[in-house]
A and B are shown apart, each in its own frame.
Chain A
Amino acid sequence: MIDLSFLTAAELAPLIETRQLSPVELTEHTLKRMEKLNPQINAYNTPLPQLALDQARKAEEEIMAGQYKGPLHGIPIGIKDNKKTKGIRTTAGSKLFANYVPTKSATVVNKLLSSGGIMVGKLTMHQLGAGLTGTNPFFGATRNPWNLNYMPGGSSSGSGAALASGLATLSTGTDTFGSIRVPAAMSGVYGLKPTYGLVSSYGVIPAAWSLDTIGPMARSVSDLALMLNCMAGFDPKDPASLKTNVQDYRADLHKNISGIKIGIPTYYLEGLDADVETLFTKAIATLRSLGAEIQELNIPELSMSTFAGFVIVAGEGAAFHSKWLQTSLQDYAPDARAILLSGSLTSAPQYIKAQQVRRKLTNAFQIEFKEVDVLLGPTIPMTTPEIREDWVTQNLDVVRRGLPFTVPANLTGIPSLTVPMGLSSKGLPVGMQFMGQHLSEKQLLQLGNAWQTTNPLGVSLKREEIG
C-alpha cells in the first residue's frame, strides 16, 4: 500500500487522473495525519476539515464525470494565513486580525481552488511576517518536524513545517525578506520567491508592499513548477502585477545544466557557520560535477542591502500599521512591535536613500547577469537554531543575520529558488539559493531540478516518527 503522506503532486496527479486514487481518500488521509501531528507541530492555526472534504467530494464528482482540470485537481494545499479567504478567518498570525473574516479571497487562492486544489487549512506564520523564526505568542510556536526543539523558520513557518511532516502536498508562502526561503531551508523543502509582480499580491495582507512576493513551496522542484503555472499571471487588481506571458515552468525541468554559468558573490561567503560553509563547499563541487561553470564575483553594492532592507521593511510596515500602533499596541507581539515602531522612527531621507540603494544594486546585478546566468549563495549563513526562551531577542538576532542574505532578491525584484543543501551536524536541514535575472524562473527551476536529483538531504522525509 502506498503511503500518500510524502508523495509529490506530480506523483499523485496521474493516480488521480486515472481514478486509481480518489481525492476524498487523499484528503481524508491528510486530515487524519493533521489531527494526529498538528498538536505537536502547530503548522495550522485554522484546519478546515469540513470544507476540505466538501471540496474533495466535488473534485471526485468532476473527475468521475470526465472533467479533470489538471495536476492540481484533488491535491491538498495549505494556505499561509496572510492570504485572504472568503468566509474564513485570516489572521496574518496576529491577535490584531484574530476575528477578521474577509468577504473576498486573494487572487492566488482563487486560482489554486479553481484549478481543483483542496484547501485543507490556513497555515501558521510568524506574526505579520515580521520575523524569520516562526515563534508566535498568540498561536504558539510552530515546531520543526526534523526536531521539535528547533524552529522551522519563518515567516511561512506552517508552510514549511506542513510539507516536512506530510500535512500538505503543497503550500503557499510570501517572501518580504526571506519568508519563503528561510522556512523552506530550515524545514528541508523547496521554495520559490518569484520575480516581483509575477504572482498577484491582491488579497494578501501586506508586510512591506514594495518587497512582498507570493510564491509556492513544495517537496520537489517539479511541484513548484506545477504551482507556479497556476499562480503566475497578470491581475488587473494588483497595481504591481506584471503583464507578461505565463510560461510552462515545467518545460525545461529535465534539461541538462552543463555549461550554465554560476557566480558566487564573495558577500555570500562571509560570516558562515562552520556547517554551512562545509555544506556549501561540497555543493559547489557537486554543481561542477553536473557541468555548471562556477566563479566567484565581487559585488560591493551588496554591502548596502542590510540598510535598505531594514529601512524599507520597518518603514513600509509602520505605514501600513500606523493607525493600529496608536490604538491596539497591546495586540502586537513584542518582536513585531519593535520592528514596526523602529520603522515609525526612520526618516524620509533614509527611505529615499534605501530606494537609491535599490537602483544601484539592481544595476550591479544586471551587469553581473551579462557574465553569469545565475547567482548562488547559502539561503542564510546560519544553521537552524533551537527555540530559545528569550524568543524576542532570538528573532531579532536571526533577522539581523538572515536578512542580509535574503533581502537582496527582494530589493531588486529578482527570483530566488531555495533548495535543501544538506543536513547540519545536528541533523537539521540547511539550504542554498539560486538567484536569477528577472523572469528567469524556468532556468532556476531547471537548475533546482538537476540539484534535486543528487538527493541533497541524503535521507528521505518518509519517516515514521516526527521529531
Chain B
Amino acid sequence: MEVQEYIRYSLALQGIDVYESDLPYIHNLLFTMNQAQVPLQAFPLNKEVPITVVDKGMLKK
C-alpha cells in the first residue's frame, strides 16, 4: 500500500477525513520519526521500565 494511501485509510478508521494537501506533510513527519528511531537500536531499551506517572492524589485514595 502506498504510504499516502495508508495515511488516508488509517485516519479514516479513526473518523478523520484528511485533506489531500496535508498528506505530504504528514508523510514527511512520519518519515522523520522513523529515521529518528534508528539510534534506539544501539541501546537495550527492553530493560528499561517506561517512565510512569504516579499520581499522589490517587494513591491517597
Which A residues are closer than 8 A to B by beta carbons?
210, 236, 239-240, 243, 300-301, 303-304, 306-307, 310-311, 314, 322, 325-326, 329, 334-335, 337-339, 341-342, 344-346, 350, 352-353, 355-360, 362, 392-393, 396, 400
CA distance A411 to B55 in the complex (A): 18
Question: Judging by beta carbons under 8 Å apart, are A344 and B14 in contact?
Answer: yes
- In the complex, the answer to whether A342 meets B39 with C-beta atoms within 8 Å is no
List chain B residues, Cβ under 8 A from A362: 51
Q: Which of B16, B42, B43, B51 contacts A344 (CB 8 A)?
A: B16
Write out, one digit per residue, whether chain B residues 11-41 have a CB within 8 A of any chain A CB (1) or not (0).
Answer: 1001111110110011011101100110110
Name the B residues within 8 Å of A338 (CB-CB): 22, 25-26, 29
Residue B53 is within 8 A (CB to CB) of chain A in the complex: yes
The distance from the CB of A95 to the nearest CB of chain B, in whole angstroms, is 15
- In the complex, the answer to whether A360 meets B45 with C-beta atoms within 8 Å is yes
A329-B18, A357-B45, A392-B25 given; 9 more Cβ-contact pairs under 8 Å: A306-B36, A307-B36, A322-B14, A338-B22, A338-B29, A341-B11, A350-B37, A353-B37, A360-B43
What 3 A-B pairs come out closest when comparing CB atoms?
A: A355-B50, A338-B25, A307-B36
Contact status B50-A342, CB under 8 Å? no
Whether A334 contacts B51 by the Cβ 8 Å rule is no
The chain B residue with its CB closest to the CB of A309 is B36
Residue pair A334, B48 in contact (C-beta under 8 Å): no
Contact A337 B22, beta carbon cutoff 8 Å? yes
Q: What residues of B have a CB within 8 angstroms of the CB of A236 in the complex?
A: 57
Main secondary structure of the interface of B (DSSP, over half): helix
Shortest CB-to-CB span from A419 to chain B, Å, is 28
Contact B43 A304 (CB under 8 A): yes
Q: Which residues of A contact B57 (CB under 8 A)?
A: 236, 239
**Most A-side CB within 10 Å, residue of B15, B29, B32:** B29
* Contact call A342/B36, Cβ cutoff below 8 A: no
Option from A310, A339, A352 in Cβ contact (under 8 Å) with B36: A310
A311-B39 contact in complex given A345-B10, A353-B45, C-beta closer than 8 Å: no
Residues of B within 8 A of A326 (CB): 14-16
How far is it, in angstroms, between the C-alpha of A329 and the C-alpha of B22 when the chains are bound? 11
Q: Does B1 contact A (CB under 8 A)?
A: no
Bound Cα distance A359, B58 (Å)? 22
**Dominant secondary structure at the A interface:** helix
Q: Do B29 and A334 have beta carbons less than 8 Å apart?
A: no
Chain B residues near A240 (CB, 8 Å)?
53
CB of B39 within 8 A of CB of A304, answer: yes
| Bound CA span A342–B26, Å | 5
Bound-complex Cα distance A358 to B42 (A): 15
Q: Which residues of B contact A359 (CB under 8 A)?
A: 48-51
> What residues of B have a CB within 8 angstroms of the CB of A239 in the complex?
53, 55-58
In the complex the two chains form, is B16's CB within 8 Å of A341's CB?
yes
Task: Give 24 A-B contacts (CB < 8 Å), ordered by A residue.
Answer: A239-B58, A307-B40, A310-B36, A311-B33, A314-B29, A322-B14, A325-B16, A326-B14, A326-B16, A329-B16, A329-B19, A341-B7, A341-B11, A342-B29, A342-B33, A344-B11, A344-B14, A350-B33, A356-B45, A356-B50, A357-B40, A359-B48, A362-B51, A392-B25
- B33 touching A346, Cβ below 8 Å: yes
Complex Cα gap A357–B45 (Å): 7
- The residue of chain A having its C-beta at the shortest distance from the C-beta of B57 within the complex is A239
Taking the closest CB of chain B, its distance from the CB of A194, in whole angstroms, is: 18
Note all chain A residues with C-beta closer than 8 A to B56.
239, 243
- Once the chains are docked, how many angstroms separate the CA of A240 from the CA of B57? 10
Q: Chain B contacts of A304 at CB under 8 A?
A: 36, 39-40, 43
CA distance A175 to B49 in the complex (A): 26
Q: Which residue of A lies closest to B30 (CB)?
A: A342
Select from chain A the residue with minimum beta-carbon distance to B18: A341
Q: Given A338-B25, A344-B16, A396-B25, do A310 and B33 touch, yes or no (CB 8 Å)?
A: yes
Asked if B22 and A341 make an inter-chain contact with CB atoms under 8 angstroms apart, the answer reads yes
Cross-chain contact B10 with A396 (CB below 8 angstroms): no
Residues of A within 8 A of B14 (CB): 322, 325-326, 344
- Give CA–CA (A341, B19) in the complex, Å: 11
